[in-house]
Structures are given as C-alpha cells and as structure tokens.
Structure 1
C-alpha cells in the first residue's frame, strides 16, 4: 500500500524531541556514530507507530529494542499546523549533523533523508488534500490484503492480530473524520469516485463467509501446529471478529461516504481546487522522484513517445519487405510460452539475470491468486514486500481477471518478480542499508524500476525481436498517453471531453474505456506518473551513464549502480553514481 509522506512526519516530530535529548548523551561519539544512533532511534520511533507497519517491517522487533508497542492502525490527522511543525523540526534536527564528517554510506542516508524531508515540508501544508481512499489503490482495497498476509510467527502474533481487528472501526472512523474535514474545506472527492469506493465496500461485505480473511487465517494458523481445540478456538475468535469489527467497519465507511458524496466542489482535476496546481506539482515531485517541472515532464514524455513510435514505424516498414510481422501483434496473444506456469516463468526470468544484473540472493517465492469475487477491485498483480529481517520468503499475487494471455503474465511476473520488485527488494536488503531507508516511499524509483524491468522482459519472451519491439514500444506509448492525460487533467484542466478528444487523436475511440481512465486519474493523481516517469528517468540515467562511462559502460555496471543506491529521488541517484 502506498504510504503518503504526511504519514511519517507526525511521529518524526515526536522522534525529534526524543532525539534532541539523546544526542547530548552521546557527545563522546564521532559524527558517524551519532548519526547512526539518530537514524536508528528515528526508525524505531516511526516503525512503532502502526502495528501493520511494525509487523511488515520487522519479524523480530525486540532485536531493535522495540517492545510493548500499542496495537493500532494509526490514524488520519487533520491538524495541518502540527504536521507542518513536525516535518520542519525533523528537517532541522537532521541538518544539525555535519554531513562532511560522515562515511559515504551515511552521506547517502543523509542525502536521501534530507531530500525526503525537504519535499515533505512543501507538501505538509496540503495535508487535507491527501486522499487515503481511491478505487483499486486506496485503504479500503489494500487493508484486507495486508491483513490476509499478516504472518503468524508465533501465538502472540495471532493474539495481536485479533486485537488489531477490533481496532478497525475506530481506524475507519478516523478516515471518515478526515473525509469530513476535507468536505468542510471544499476538498472532498468527486461523487463518482465515492460511488466506486462504496461499490467496493459493498462487494467486500457481500463476500460473507467466502471472504478470504477466513480462509487465509486458517491457512496461516496451520504453520503454528497448535492443539486441535486451541486452533478451533482461534478460528472461532477470528470469525467473530470479522463479523463484529471488519464488516461493520466497511458498512461504516460506505455510509460515511454516502453522507458526503454530494459535498465535493470539484469533479475535475486538482488544478480546479484552490492552490490545486501547486499541490499537484508537489504530488508529482514526490510520487515520481523527478525534479523536472510539469511542462518539462510533458516534453520528456512526448519525446519518449516519439522515439517509441519511430521504432515501431521502422519495424513495420521492414515488415512490408518480406518480414512475417502481422497486425495481430497488438491483439491478445493467446498461448505463446511452452510452459505458462507462473513458478516456471519466474524461475526462467531469474535465470536470465546472469549477464546483465548483479547476482540475486537465494529466496523462495509463493504465487497466490486474488479471490475471484475481488478481481474487479484489485490491481492486476502485486508483490508483498517482506520484513527487512526476513527476506527469504516472498509472495506475489496474480489477478487472473487482468491476464488476457501468457505474454501478459510473463511481463507482469517480470514487473513483480525478476528483475522487478522482488529482485530489487531482496538485492537491496542484502546490501544492509540503514533501516530508516526502508520506511521512505519513493514510488518513482520502485515502480519506475519495475516498469523498466517489464519493458526489458518482452525481449526475453519467445517472440521474434520485431514482435517484441512492437509490443514493448506499444506498451510504452500507452503508458505515455496515460501520463500525458494525468498531467493534462490535473495540471492543464482537461475535462472528460478534452480527454476523450486527446485519446481519439491516437486512435483510441472507446468512450467507456476513456471515461474509466479519466475516473481513475481523477481519483489517484500521479499514480500513472510514478510508473511511466520513473521508467523514463531510468532510461535517461542510462543515457547519462553511457555518455560518462564510455567504454566502461555495461548493463551490469549500470544496474548495480542504481540498485546499490536504493530508493531515492533521481537527483540523489545521479549525485551518488556519477
């Protein structure tokens, strides 16, 4: 689940107070030791703010000195002044350390933190503009998946999990209160976005006894090998908690949104809100990790699309001179792979890394499938990021409702698995970065890398080079269109009619499909940009590396350089690899 920057900064302020005292206790330490004490305490403070965050980040919190933390989801804050003060104090404390005296590893951590907090300072005043709810990607969609994958390492985890379920109504109530504050400020979501989320909530409730929160609980419980009566007791408690807390929470959220659905002042892009264009600029910078202005990003996108279209034209021109390329290359491919088993595909992709990527650590990966009744409401696939002290076991979810053919499955597994998210995550963990780095959200880096990996994977398939080029460039162009639409809607003020006209200019004429795209972009600004702009920024980095390294450039050297830096803005990455 995507984590908004404002979520980190309230606890950062508390950490700042705590740390400002602790710093003086370690005056005898050198600057590296003081800085590492600071980041360690900051990490412990922040990771303890939510039971979900703590459990997903650390298998063994006690190894970090974290014990007896409150069981909570956290809460949405409407106190903009406190949020602004929090992040400003956190940045000031960070800058009290002398960067020049730090090791190269700590300088990187310092630079990433400073970049993150500096961006957060700009965004903090817009905290009420943030939106925890969105079709497919919002809390209402992501929370059940997070709960279903909440690992039971021992019996105490089961007890904590069941207590956490009882906190769901108050957590959802805090979201409703946040939405009420947005409504009062004239910032509530478009009515059709509210309708989509209410539909999701009802679909989740309607699953009833077939809901995967029942079956996943029983499955996880088996690993503990409890006595039969103890296991039965826990199963009964879980069933009661789902009925008493989870389903009513979704009803509460649905009713809360129903009461507010007509209070929104704007059914179009962010630029129609007061200071909405400035807010969007901040969102784009934070989501993409790019320091380019919106007009510069539009130009970058158009240039990349033109390059892709020219490459396609070159292949198609050659096809008229005896090549076997067919116009069917853009249609559903059916069965192309000899073995379309996801585990086999993933193993094959891992084996293809050898020449172009640093060796991955040895891990195991389980492929799971989204429950059929929820296929409409969840993303095509997603990788569950493992705890930083337990990266051996990994999970990828596949949404079969979004897999039209085995080439789509192949490229999706490249995005989520190798050399995408899974590889990127476990390789970076093997570098033993400062723990605080794992809590900083850089969507442009993570999703940009996964999209970059997906694009490369077309050339790993059995398709001919020409077919692979056409399909890869076509996919890139479509993502580019979504990126331009995102910026057009939220920055330039495109209406639905403008968006329909834009897509029709590229031969996409299905009005219902375009309206669906428009609705998704309205509900989740810059979501497409972190994939596409992140991908194109990696391409730009590669061009710079080829230019600067000359004959010393290799794919493996480039990939190792950007993976070693880890999640960061592209300015920070450039600073540390060149």
Structure 2
C-alpha cells in the first residue's frame, strides 16, 4: 500500500477552498489567476496539520509558508457546515473559466472539479466515515508517521516534540467523533472495535521496546549535536512518549471499550439508513470508476471467468513438473537487489525512472500483526531522492511474495509512479488529492506484470498471476456482497467455499476486514481492472502504433485522477 501522509481530517480542503473564493480575482492571465488560486489552496491545505506539512514539503518557505501551527488537525461532526463549505468550494473553482486555461491547467481543473464533486455528494454522510480501522486506520498509521518524521535541523526536532504533546487533543476529537457516531447508531461493529483496541494495547505494551524510542535516537545520531543537547532531546522524547503518546492510546482504547456495544449494525453498510447509497459514493471515491456497483460486479465476474479459463488452459497444456512448486524459492532474496533487478526490467516497457535511492526497513516484530504486509512512504514533493519501503516479514510467506510485493511498492509500482509524476512538476495541489483507484490500481497492475519478471517458467508465472487476480477478484465480489447485497458471515463463507476456500477462520478474518474498511479491496482490484480496460482500448484505437511504453507514459504523465478523466486525457 501507499502510505498516505494526511491524517483523518474531515474536508479541511473544502474550508480552504471556500476561503479562497475571491483570492484569484485581479489582474493577470486566466492561467496566472488559476495558478495563484491553486497555490494558495495548496499552502492552506498543506499547512492544516504538521504531519502533512512535514511529509509534503522539505522546504516550506520555498512555497511561501513561513509559520504554521503545530497540530494534528481535528475531526468535525458539523455536517451542515461541511455541506455548505463543499458548495462554496465548487463555486470558488467554477469562478475560473476553464476554456481559457492551458491544457495542463485544464487537467488540474478537471481533477479538482471531480474530487470536490464527490466531496459534495458525501458531505451529508460525514458520520458514516471512519478514521479508525484495523491495519489502515489512524491509530495504525500514526506511529509509523512519527517514527519516520525526519530531522534536518533542531527546529524540526523541537516541532516534533511539540507535536507529540498535541496527540491527546487530536485523539479527543476522534473520541468525540466516535461518540457522535454512536449517538446516531453508526458506531462500528463490536469486533472491529475489539481489533482496534487490541492494536492500541499492543502498541502501549511494547513499553521501552517501542520504536518511538529507538527511531528517535537513530534520527538524532544523524545530527551533529553536542552531548548535552543530545541527552536533553532524548529525555524529552522519552517523557513525551510516556506522558502523551501512551496515555492517548490508552484513553482511545478505553473509549472504544465503552462504546463497543453501542453500534446498531455488525453487518455491511447496506443495513444502515441510506447505507447502500453511501456505499455507492464510497466505491466511486475509492475506485475512481464511474461504473455503477452492478456494472463493477459484472466487470469483476467477467475478469474472474477470464482468469479461471486461462488457468485451466495452462494446466491442461503444461506438464505437472512445471507446477511442482506453487511458491518457488528464488535465488535472490535480498530486497535491495530485487528492487535493482525490477528497475532494470522497466527498459522498453516504461519511461526511464528518475534516479533515486531507496531504503528498506522492517516493521517491528511486535507490531507485525497490526500493520499491512508492506508500505511505501511517500516522499516530500520537493525532495524525492530518498525513499523508504517498509516490509512486514510477518506477512511475507515466501520468496515470490517478497518479489511481487517489492514490485507493488517499488518498481514499477508506487515508488516509480510517485517519483515519476512528482518529477514532472505538476501543480502542487495534485499531490494532495487522493485517488486510491489510480495509485493502488497502478501498483496492483504492475504487481501482476512482475510475475513475468520473476525467474520462473512463463507458464508458472501466468498461472500464479491469474490465481492472484482471481483471489483479489473474489475479495472485491465479497466487498460488494457484504456492503451492497447484504451478505452476512455465513453467506460469505458459502461464497468462498464455492471457489475451494474452506477455512472458516480465514474467511471470517476477510469478512471482518471488509466490514471495517468498505471498498478497500475494490480500489486495488477495480483500479487494476480499469487499467487493463484502458490498455485494451488503447490497443484497439492505436493499432500498430500501440506500445507499452507509450501507454504507460501517458498514464503516468496524467497522474492520479478518476478513470473518466484519465481516459479523456489519454485519447484526446
């Protein structure tokens, strides 16, 4: 997964946009006004919380940002204000004449218009949203974001230490948000709360072995500090972890414990008032696809059938010896070496990658159960040379899994897509808009390609890739079944057993994850399939002029957007 640097903030962007309704009026060309507008918007949004500012910009002063309050931001439950701000935001954007803009600015306009339009549709459902979720929620992401908060100077250290003291206030706003959800009968399923409570307690129980201690001293070691200064910083960090971080996690766990049985629904979103309508919006936002849920289900079923048919043909035409080892051992298991090998495979099929470095880090063993299998830390937009990929060894069952995971997170996946786009110097606001269907869809699409880069027989690569595609497709159908069609646990068990997946505990774990994070699997799978559909369309329209490299270049140059916008840009 691509570790998104923004924490849970309800429509901060909308408030910023509303405030800019008249900022771009005055002299100058349409492009100059529009760029002044988006730059002001970017500066206001990126300054809304310290984590976003620090991870997005290495040198904020270059963007005119000199002082920003130290804060994690906050959650809000005022749906009326959110709706009004969403309407004002669109009006602010529409004050600019799109027809007078350059092609680059037209694309930015369209992406913003699309993003804000979805935000407006969702504004009335603010309390349906969820900042907390097993593996992917704020409580899981925050410790990693703190541990990777880099120090260039002592000012950064001081800001970091001050930020730690703001966590109680931020978690209080999340607790208030969860209480408001509870009051409306919208609190999460009790078993989802149990998982999050377990995560919080496990994080606190690490005690002196917690990585917020060790990662801090490692970052200090890279600084030129005298001993007294060094010791004082270590002391302050230790105190802050004990006095602010741990108590905040304890209080969050206690609050969830008190609320855990107050939810009215332990099943999918469709069991909530207007839940099916809300799910349609979530799917649209998460996937970037304009297809209806029914159309997405049909698209998924078609792809699964295609994959199963291909698998049957491979098994029928190949010898048993070819598939004697379903998860082959690879000769090279060093992550750095694998990344280098994957990077070398880009030639001829992808545009040349920017020259950057990558550090591999590992999730602390005690937290392996509670974090994703791997994640890429998105670099600052003005400093893309140093990148970090985290590997969770607790979720890495074999050598090939490591290989394909590094393709997903590294080359040609998240790392490559991110640094390629950022090196094109897009409008800065583009880097703050989250289009998960594009980013996770691209990473999944390239992960599928990576099976054919692995040093294994072509037939085996095809079989394993198709199998992975089928499994993701089944997860996508289960997501739709649970949240749109109303499947309960036993319905989900029956569905997976049709495909030979029998283990009840495994299926229950899948069910719980889908309940706690609606459409999460869809952004991976539907994003991937939409890219495949785009490629088919490109082959059909371009004929003999089609090349993999040209197709990939157009996709990467357009950058994160919905698939309708992407399609228009690619084929204009």
* Global fold match (TM > 0.5): yes
Partner of 2:143: 144
Structure 1 residues without counterparts, runs of 5 or longer: none
Partner of 2:570: 577
Query: What pairs up with 1:156-195 in 2 under 5 angstroms?
Result: 156-195=155-194
Partner of 1:442: 435
Instruction: Please state whether the residue corresponding to 2:23 is helix, strand or coil.
Output: helix
Partner of 1:112: 111
Partner of 1:129: 128
Partner of 2:279: 280
User: CA-atom RMSD, angstroms?
Assistant: 1.2
CA distance 1:137–1:308, shift in 2 (3 Å): same
Distance in structure 2 (CA, Å) of the matches to 1:341 and 1:502: 38
Distance in structure 2 (CA, Å) of the matches to 1:238 and 1:3: 22
Distance in structure 1 (CA, Å) of the matches to 2:118 and 2:181: 22
Distance in structure 1 (CA, Å) of the matches to 2:349 and 2:525: 22
CA distance 1:3–1:417, shift in 2 (3 Å): closer
Partner of 1:348: 341
Distance in structure 1 (CA, Å) of the matches to 2:214 and 2:513: 31
Distance in structure 1 (CA, Å) of the matches to 2:49 and 2:291: 33
The yes-or-no answer on 1:58 pairing with 2:51 is no
Distance in structure 1 (CA, Å) of the matches to 2:15 and 2:368: 40
Distance in structure 2 (CA, Å) of the matches to 1:121 and 1:5: 20
Shift of 1:229: 1.4
Query: What pairs up with 1:163-562 in 2 under 5 angstroms?
Result: 163-319=162-318, 322=319, 324-326=321-323, 328-329=325-326, 332-333=327-328, 335-336=329-330, 338-562=331-555
On the 8 A contact 1:5/1:441 being kept in 2, the answer is: no
Distance in structure 2 (CA, Å) of the matches to 1:42 and 1:8: 16
1:342-381 residue CA offsets vs partner (Å, 9 max, x unmatched): 0000001001101100000000000000000000000000
On the 8 A contact 1:88/1:121 being kept in 2, the answer is: yes
On the 8 A contact 2:6/2:51 being kept in 1, the answer is: no
On the 8 A contact 2:189/2:260 being kept in 1, the answer is: yes
CA distance 1:500–1:307, shift in 2 (3 Å): same
Instruction: Please state whether the residue corresponding to 1:23 is helix, strand or coil.
Output: coil
Shift of 1:222: 1.5
Partner of 2:27: 28
On the 8 A contact 2:413/2:444 being kept in 1, the answer is: yes
The yes-or-no answer on 1:97 pairing with 2:96 is yes
On the 8 A contact 2:8/2:75 being kept in 1, the answer is: no
On the 8 A contact 1:382/1:397 being kept in 2, the answer is: yes
On the 8 A contact 1:380/1:402 being kept in 2, the answer is: yes
Shift of 1:15: 3.8
Shift of 1:28: 1.9
Shift of 1:404: 1.0
On the 8 A contact 1:193/1:523 being kept in 2, the answer is: yes
Distance in structure 1 (CA, Å) of the matches to 2:68 and 2:406: 36
TM-score, normalised via structure 1 length = 0.97
Shift >6 Å, 4+ stretches:
3-6
Shift of 1:225: 1.3
Instruction: Please state whether the residue corresponding to 1:230 is helix, strand or coil.
Output: helix
Instruction: Please state whether the residue corresponding to 1:366 is helix, strand or coil.
Output: strand
Shift of 1:223: 1.7
Distance in structure 2 (CA, Å) of the matches to 1:15 and 1:407: 46
On the 8 A contact 2:16/2:41 being kept in 1, the answer is: no
Partner of 1:85: 84
1:227-248 residue CA offsets vs partner (Å, 9 max, x unmatched): 1111111011000000000000
Shift of 1:20: 2.9
Distance in structure 1 (CA, Å) of the matches to 2:61 and 2:565: 32
Distance in structure 2 (CA, Å) of the matches to 1:125 and 1:270: 15
Partner of 1:9: 11
Aligned length: 569
Structure 2 residues without counterparts, runs of 5 or longer: none
Distance in structure 2 (CA, Å) of the matches to 1:493 and 1:236: 53
